[in-house]
A = this chain, B = another copy of it.
Amino acid sequence: MRGRMRQVEPMGLISPKVIGRLSLYRRVLHELVAGGQSHVFSHELARLAGVTAAQVRRDVMAVGYSGSPVRGYEIASLIESIAAMLDAGQGDSVALVGLGNLGRAVLDYLGGRRSKMRLAAAFDVDPAKVNRVVHSVRCYPMEELASVVESQAIASAVVTVPASAAQEVSDRLVSAGVRGILNFAPARLRVPEGVFVEDVDMAMALEKVAYFSRQVTSPERAMRT
């Protein structure tokens, strides 16, 4: 049973790596659309995304989209298929905890993107920040975390508090119903089974860069995962 062309399975669980690459492909595809291109071959997309053509083919297969051996992938449809996989039905609401320098930068960066995701609320312990509105996101006191998260059905959160506070914040988010955390604090969060944590550890990343910049032969560039 090989070489059958049509494949219909919508696929079940997809690995974090593949999800990351799909996000990358979508960004590249949007650029191609902006350039007036309507179709793309796996090797073109692969080159632009910095991956192999075989990976592109396998990943595209995973979203349940099929291309044509002659014209390749139709960009508009492929974007739709990826969006169906990555975006929630009515848009996700995201909370941000910790409005320090990093928190504001993240808010700035993520707030300014065309995206189905919506930064719905921010939280901070500092009374001076509470009730202020930054980039049209209101800052609530930490005491209201549970009620706001629950009432707005927030399922994802970004944590930009100091390492010493990260675990407690994580616990509160999880018990309020959050199921995914983007963690910028240099601390390993302990979360219950079923809660997804993605760590962004800038200090570690910089140490990696410093280490390999000293080596005569670097390993191939690592894919962000």
Residues of A within 8 A of B (CB): 13-16, 19-20, 23-24, 27, 48-50, 85-86, 88, 92, 94, 101-102, 104-106, 108-110, 113, 115, 117, 155-156, 158, 178-182, 186, 188, 191, 194-219, 221-225
Contact status A210-B88, CB under 8 Å: yes
Contact status B94-A101, CB under 8 Å: no
Contact status B117-A206, CB under 8 Å: yes
- In Å, the complex CA distance between A212 and B225 comes to 14
| Complex interface: chain B residues within 8 A of A49 (CB) | 188
Also in contact, A13 and B215, with CB within 8 A (given A101-B105, A105-B104, A224-B200): yes
Contact status A208-B16, CB under 8 Å: yes
Contact status B110-A203, CB under 8 Å: yes
Nearest to A16 among chain B residues (CB) is B222
Contact status B13-A88, CB under 8 Å: no
Contact status B204-A24, CB under 8 Å: yes
- In Å, the complex CA distance between A68 and B181 comes to 38
Contact status A196-B180, CB under 8 Å: no
How many copies make up the complex?
2
- In Å, the complex CA distance between A129 and B117 comes to 32
Nearest to A14 among chain B residues (CB) is B211
Nearest to A91 among chain B residues (CB) is B210
Residue of A13, A49, A202 with most chain B CB atoms under a 10 A cut-off: A202
Contact status A110-B200, CB under 8 Å: no
A219 partner, pick from B15, B109, B191, beta carbons under 8 A:
B15
Q: A15-B219, A182-B205 are in contact. List 9 more A-B contacts (CB 8 A).
A: A14-B211, A86-B207, A94-B206, A104-B105, A109-B203, A155-B214, A182-B202, A198-B208, A200-B205
